[in-house]
Structure 1
Amino acid sequence: MSLKDELIQDRLPNHVAIIMDGNGRWAKQRGNSRMFGHKHGVTAVREVTEAAAELNIKYLTLYAFSTENWSRPKTEVDALMSLLVSTISSETGTLMKNNVRLNAIGCKETLPRGVQAKLEDCIKKTSENTGLTLTLALSYSSRWEIIEAFKGVAKRVKNNELSIDDIDADLVSSYMATAGIPDPELMIRTSGEQRISNFLLWQLAYSELYFCNILWPDFRRDDFYRALLDFQGRERRFGKTGDQIKK
């Protein structure tokens, strides 16, 4: 029996988030530049996206470029932006074939205009697709997102559109970049690092965290299935006891 066959369909997560880590180390192990790793990481993105779509998972969010990544050497950032443009262009057909709708979150206005244009074009072309929603977190950080949410709420309070007592978890969630998307039930991070790195801090409050030692360019469908199987073996209690969950 294959790993995919072991999965229980009605116990799959609706939303999986992934921190795609390890491109640079993968390239260094092979005596190549970091960009060599980033280019090969595209294959892993395609594999996981197609696997999620085939399993009828509804949402997949990938941490593609953080606000902190702007501090990397300019040559690497420029090359990453160029790779992003070419990848979006080349993968649009694959997204259409797999009925995948593209979405993006982050401070997108800081992206180069060429990236913004390609991104907007692909989002528009795939907007009618009804399968998996693939969200790219670009120029994103959770602290940026939370600050922007605070500003939005504060402005409405200042304009007497809200009172302090109106502020609750649902209201805050509605101001997050992921508004309208359920919180991830599972967050995967590759490369062996065990931290969240400013990614979806509000949304991951009750997510199951899965860390694996595989560097992102080597991550394939079976690795994704293993993470899902691990998720299905966990008991999600949300503050309750195990006995309460079983009732």
Structure 2
Amino acid sequence: MDNTFTLNTENLPQHIAIIMDGNGRWAKQQGMLRAFGHESGVKSVRETVEACARLKIKFLTLYAFSTENWNRPKLEVDALMSILMNSLKKELPTMQKNNIKLNTIGNANMLPDRARKQLFDVIEQTKDNTGMTLTLALSYGSREELVAAVKEICEEVKTNKLDIADINDTVIQSHLYTRNMPDADLVIRTSGEQRISNFLLWQAAYAELYFTEVLWPDFREEDLHKAIFSYQKRERRFGKTSEQLK
């Protein structure tokens, strides 16, 4: 490990969220099908999860499959679902060893039956783990999440369970998929793209954003440390001035 990136363990992000981008381009560079890139990205997931667990990061959220990804060619979607099932089964012992609790956000009803069953089996088996919470954003879109939250709140107002005057940030937060976790502190996106692609729009309101040219299958522990090191050099003001923080 490059000691240039020695981290301050007193100033680690509580919640890291990652947009794992670049699998397809990586595969193309190798002269392979896109599915090969997705399979190769599993190694990066494993290494990143274990590295975060070692750092005692409390929450790690991975953008694994967006609502828009359903529009990709069926062959690629089928391959992604197969990789998901195989990875969940294969990585369960590692999650148990590292005391990791699995969670998911998104519209799970859209997942194929076998993939959904495998996902919730692993969630059930890791529910009592007390270390890091690993959240897979699957069939996830932040706009869809916000629409669903608005509908739930409207229903509560309609049935007199909630008064319009009482709607605030906390009420909205309590209706999001992420209601049981803190907002993101650091959002990382690989592959050089500099956008958040409908990911955690509410939860990333004050997150630090980090973009790297590294394609996801090449993302390693050192790259994670670089992102956290960058985070630690920043001043998080949350709307205040530097002088107020001092």
The TM-score with structure 2 as length reference comes to 0.98
Q: Secondary structure at 2:10's aligned position in 1?
A: helix
- CA apart distance, 1:3: 4.1
Q: Partners of 1:77 and 1:141 in 2: how far apart?
A: 16
Q: Would you say the 8 A contact 1:4–1:225 is kept in 2? A: no
Q: Would you say the 8 A contact 2:237–2:245 is kept in 1? A: yes
Structure 2 equivalent of residue 165 of structure 1:
165
Q: Secondary structure at 1:10's aligned position in 2?
A: coil
- CA apart distance, 1:44: 0.4
- CA apart distance, 1:106: 0.3
Describe the shift of the 1:128–1:23 C-alpha distance in structure 2 as closer, same or farther (beyond 3 A): same
Q: Partners of 1:90 and 1:19 in 2: how far apart?
A: 22
1:212 partner letter: T
- CA apart distance, 1:10: 1.3
Q: Partners of 2:57 and 2:3 in 1: how far apart?
A: 16
Q: Partners of 1:174 and 1:12 in 2: how far apart?
A: 25
1:141-156 → structure 2 map (5 Å cutoff): 141-156=141-156
1:205-216 → structure 2 map (5 Å cutoff): 205-216=205-216
Structure 2 equivalent of residue 61 of structure 1:
61
Structure 2 equivalent of residue 231 of structure 1:
231
Q: Secondary structure at 2:64's aligned position in 1?
A: strand
1:16 partner letter: I
Structure 2 equivalent of residue 80 of structure 1:
80
Q: Partners of 2:151 and 2:9 in 1: how far apart?
A: 40
Gaps (5+ residues) in structure 2?
none
- CA apart distance, 1:128: 1.1
Q: Partners of 1:3 and 1:101 in 2: how far apart?
A: 30
CA offsets 1:174-212 (integer angstroms, 9 cap, x no match): 000000100010000000000000000000000000000
Q: Partners of 1:26 and 1:235 in 2: how far apart?
A: 34
Q: Would you say the 8 A contact 1:191–1:216 is kept in 2? A: yes
1:207 partner letter: A
Q: Partners of 1:21 and 1:68 in 2: how far apart?
A: 14
Q: Partners of 2:71 and 2:120 in 1: how far apart?
A: 25
1:216 partner letter: W
- CA apart distance, 1:6: 1.2
- CA apart distance, 1:226: 0.4
Q: Partners of 1:94 and 1:4 in 2: how far apart?
A: 29
- CA apart distance, 1:4: 8.8
Question: RMSD between aligned alpha carbons?
Answer: 1.1
Q: Partners of 1:5 and 1:21 in 2: how far apart?
A: 23
The TM-score with structure 1 as length reference comes to 0.98
2:7 partner letter: L
Is 2:45 the counterpart of 1:30? Answer: no
Q: Secondary structure at 2:136's aligned position in 1?
A: strand
Q: Would you say the 8 A contact 1:101–1:128 is kept in 2? A: yes
Structure 1 equivalent of residue 127 of structure 2:
127
- CA apart distance, 1:5: 7.1
Describe the shift of the 1:140–1:4 C-alpha distance in structure 2 as closer, same or farther (beyond 3 A): farther
Q: Partners of 2:101 and 2:199 in 1: how far apart?
A: 21
Q: Would you say the 8 A contact 1:23–1:215 is kept in 2? A: yes
Q: Secondary structure at 1:102's aligned position in 2?
A: strand
CA offsets 1:9-43 (integer angstroms, 9 cap, x no match): 11000000000000000000010000000000000
Q: Partners of 2:3 and 2:183 in 1: how far apart?
A: 25
Gaps (5+ residues) in structure 1?
none
Moved over 2 A (4+): 1-5
Q: Partners of 2:128 and 2:33 in 1: how far apart?
A: 38
Q: Would you say the 8 A contact 1:3–1:222 is kept in 2? A: no
Greater CA deviation, 169-178 or 1-10?
1-10
Q: Would you say the 8 A contact 1:101–1:127 is kept in 2? A: yes
Is 2:193 the counterpart of 1:193? Answer: yes
Structure 2 equivalent of residue 102 of structure 1:
102
Percent identity between matched residues is 57
